[in-house]
Structure 1
Amino acid sequence: MGVQEVRMDPLEDVLALLGAESHVSAALVGGGGWAVGFDPPAGAKFNAVRRGRCALRVDGLAAPISLGEGDCFLLTRPVAYTLFTDPDAPVQPAYPIFAAAADGVARVGDGDDVLLIGGAFSLGGRARTLLLDDLPPVIHVPADTPEAGTVQWALGEIDAELRSTRLGSHLVAEHLALVLLIRVLRLHLARADRSSAGWLAGLADPVVAPALRAMHARPAHRWTVDEVARAATVSRSTLAARFKKVVGSGPLEYLTGWRIELAAERLRRGTDTVATIAQAVGYGSESALSVAFKRATGLSPRSYRTELAKGHPDDLPESAALADRTRPGR
């Protein structure tokens, strides 16, 4: 029996590399006419209507989005937004309402006609560039669409855990929220047409996706465009043209960016020597990695690690190698 090939998932790779974390907030119960305004989230934000109806107004979008029972949305931009049942109601800031939450429930208005659950995903600048910038500002998942069932399961489980008094229920809910994020992203990719562009769109493209999986499975391999094309079962010219159109770069440019991301992660979280990291991510020598790393980040690997040791990781330049190479038109 031959060795079974391990199928690598680039989306899973990126989420793991970037350390995406979820934070589930108190539920929001409202009655009558009300409006609650939320500050721009630092990462991505989701809310789901478990009972009743309300609407979502997002800064920069012309029209509000009607939300029915079972609907959810993912906000992908750091912009302010308002949830409301009455468009003319005075907007109350969200912070005092949630600060006064009791037993995991924040209340607004008079009654309990509407129940929402929600949370946020902590994503740094690199994650935002890689995951969110090519998405629409809001991904709305209506409950009555055929594809929404895969999202509804995660919502139901999050709701059940938030209502539970069992040990670890909040932690379970936060892990389930990451499941929800992945399923909403899957749903968006399934909806996207062939004209969509960007790194995430590549995961749904029949030519680009197998190429991405192959390179993520063996990032240290000395890939050539011909080999990547064979993995995608297309010609070299077809792969190069399609990859450039969808992802915004050539396949080997993408691979270079991904290797720099992997190297940066190992510098942040480990003590391996730069030479060891260079071999692990596909560079033949420490000097080769150093040149590529400095071109991408503005710092050598050693300087990058030194800055980390000073305790100011937020001041480090973003590793733009992958991000800059996955923008259509670049």
Structure 2
Amino acid sequence: MTVRQADPLEDVLTLVGTTSRLSVGLVAGGRWALAFDPPDGVKFNAVRRGHCLLTVDGVPEPIELREGDCFLLVQPRAFTLASGPGVTPAPAGPVFRAAAGGPARVGDGDDVELMSGRFHFGERAGELLFDVLPPVIHVPASTTEATTVRWALELIAAELRASQPAATLVTEHLALVMLIHLLRLHVATAPGQTSGWLAGLADPVVAPALRAMHASPAHAWTVAELAGVCAVSRSTLAARFKQVVGKGPLEYLTGWRIELAAGRLRDGEATMEAIAREVGYASVSALSNAFKRLTGLAPRDYRSAASAASRSADAEPVGGV
């Protein structure tokens, strides 16, 4: 079988419905500190000028941020940004609410400038993405990927200054470019800080098998066939996949098929027969049995619950900063 190239990271980001939103930036100087509540979504910050100290709940050591550095706060944890240690933080909420559309300001002067944003994801992002990442990802300015992030930041700043048509759409897409580069860097340089399928992307034995299953999820893969794709023995692939990803190749394949089916149930009106064929099941009953075993719900019940949740979300008022 000829296997087309696939990108599991792209597949997952697409499946969980990744969107972005830039928020008000921060300008600070002198001695200052701000305490932030746990954010809704994944928080992004980049230091455009100066330096500051990041402290995240549950992370033992503070992180020094210098010009050009950026970080992703992957989990909803409270955090503090400060000029240095020993400064009593003020609540960040009132400072940002008083910004009135411009950058928030704290302290004396403007020797520090940060750009902020948030990434929002669909309901399955927790298990598929966040649970395989550390709570905070720090990207120093010295890395190659940070160069691309700085390029995107400069374009974003230019778009916001010029107020060009469709500037919001452009900046949101540029923010997604940054997210992808940050995740790529983390996979490449910090394999010990990831787990599950994301760790598998950095493993030379496991990665070809992951790409093959994502390229053709409906194919009736066997461990022997996947081992052939990876150019290793069946036993070697089975053991390595289990060690790195935390489950066997075919167990992973079943999980990914169910994720794809769940996505189709959430987003469209495709029939159960069509969805079963798309994800590799010979019958609706076979899909239903596997789906209920993994999610606890029959597919039709899952679709009804997802539709109700979507209507409820649409009815909620939009919040503030």
Q: Is the contact between residue 192 and residue 201 of structure 1 (CA under 8 Å) also seen in structure 2? A: no
Moved more, 212-221 or 185-194: 185-194
Match of 1:295 in 2: 293
Match of 1:243 in 2: 241
Match of 1:190 in 2: 188
Match of 2:91 in 1: 93
Match of 1:151 in 2: 149
Q: How far, CA to CA, are the matches of 1:240 and 1:147 in structure 2?
A: 33
Deviations 1:160-205 (A, max 9, x none): 3333311122221121111111111111111124795321111111
The aligned amino acid for 2:140 is P
Q: Is the contact between residue 8 and residue 216 of structure 1 (CA under 8 Å) also seen in structure 2? A: yes
Q: CA deviation at 1:296?
A: 1.0
The aligned amino acid for 1:40 is P
Q: Which residue among 173, 192, 204 is the counterpart of 1:206?
A: 204
Q: CA deviation at 1:263?
A: 0.6
Q: CA deviation at 1:313?
A: 7.6
User: Tell me, which stretches of 5 or more residues in structure 1 are unaligned?
Assistant: 316-330
Aligned residues: 312
The yes-or-no answer on 1:142 pairing with 2:140 is yes
Match of 2:259 in 1: 261
Q: CA deviation at 1:102?
A: 3.5
TM-score, normalised to structure 1's length? 0.88
TM-score, normalised to structure 2's length? 0.91
Match of 1:319 in 2: none
Q: How far, CA to CA, are the matches of 2:227 and 2:56 in structure 1?
A: 42
Q: CA deviation at 1:18?
A: 0.6
Match of 1:62 in 2: 60
The aligned amino acid for 2:23 is S
Q: CA deviation at 1:221?
A: 0.8
Q: Secondary structure at the match of 2:132?
A: coil
User: Tell me, which stretches of 5 or more residues in structure 2 are unaligned?
Assistant: 314-321
Match of 2:11 in 1: 13
Q: Is the contact between residue 134 and residue 193 of structure 2 (CA under 8 Å) also seen in structure 1? A: no
Q: CA deviation at 1:111?
A: 1.7
The aligned amino acid for 1:105 is P
Deviations 1:78-106 (A, max 9, x none): 11001111433332222222222244311
Q: Which residue among 20, 29, 38 is the counterpart of 1:31?
A: 29
Q: Secondary structure at the match of 2:232?
A: coil
Q: CA deviation at 1:230?
A: 1.3
Match of 1:161 in 2: 159
Q: CA deviation at 1:155?
A: 2.8
Report the identity percentage: 63
Q: Is the contact between residue 54 and residue 114 of structure 1 (CA under 8 Å) also seen in structure 2? A: yes
- Sort the Cα spacing of 1:148 and 1:86 in 2 relative to 1 into closer, same or farther, 3 A: closer
Q: CA deviation at 1:126?
A: 2.0
Match of 1:281 in 2: 279
The yes-or-no answer on 1:110 pairing with 2:105 is no
Q: How far, CA to CA, are the matches of 1:272 and 1:210 in structure 2?
A: 30
